[in-house]
Amino acid sequence: MGPFPSSKGNKYILVAVDYLSKWVEAKALPTNDARVVVKFLKSLFFRFGTPKAIISDRGAHFCNDQFSRVMAKYGVTHRLSIAYHPQTSGQVKVTNRGLKRILERTMAENRTLWSDKLEDALWAFRTIYKTSIDCTPYHLVYDKACHLPLELEHKAYWALKPYLVE
Q: What is the pLDDT of residue 116?
A: 87
Q: Is residue 1 part of a domain?
A: no
Q: Is residue 7 part of a domain?
A: no
Average pLDDT, the chain: 86
Q: Is the separation of the CB atoms in 2 and 12 below 8 Å?
A: yes
Residue 102 CA: distances (Å) to CA of 82, 147, 150: 27, 21, 21
Q: Is residue 58 part of a domain?
A: yes
- The range of the structural domain enclosing residue 114 comes to 12-163
Report pLDDT digits (tens) over 76-124.
Answer: 999 998 877 666 667 888 888 888 888 888 777 777 889 888 998 898 8
**Residue 153 sits in a domain of what CATH number?**
3.30.420.10
Question: What gap in Å lies between CA 112 and CA 110, rounded to an integer?
Answer: 6
Nearest to 68 by CA among 58, 59, 78: 78
Q: Is residue 120 part of a domain?
A: yes
